[in-house]
Amino acid sequence: MRTIYVKPQKNWYVIDAEGKELGRVAVAAANILRGKNKPEYMPNEDMGDYVIIINAEKAALTGNKAQDKMYRRVSGYAGGMKEENYLETVARKPTYPMEHAIKGMLPKGSLGRKIFTNLHVYAGSEHPHAAQKPVQVEI
Query: pLDDT tier at 21 (50, 70, 90 boundaries)?
Result: very high
| Residue 26 vs residues 23, 53, 110, 124, 131: alpha-carbon distances, Å | 5, 9, 20, 17, 24
DSSP, residue by residue, 91-108:
HH-TTHHHHHHHHHHSPS
76: left (phi over 0), alpha (psi -120 to 50) or beta: left
Residue 109: what residue type?
G
Domain boundaries, the chain: 12-62+90-137
Domain 12-62+90-137 class, CATH top level: alpha beta
60-116: per-residue pLDDT in tens? 999 999 999 999 999 999 999 999 999 999 999 999 999 999 999 999 999 999 999
CA 117, 119, 124, 130 dihedral sign is positive
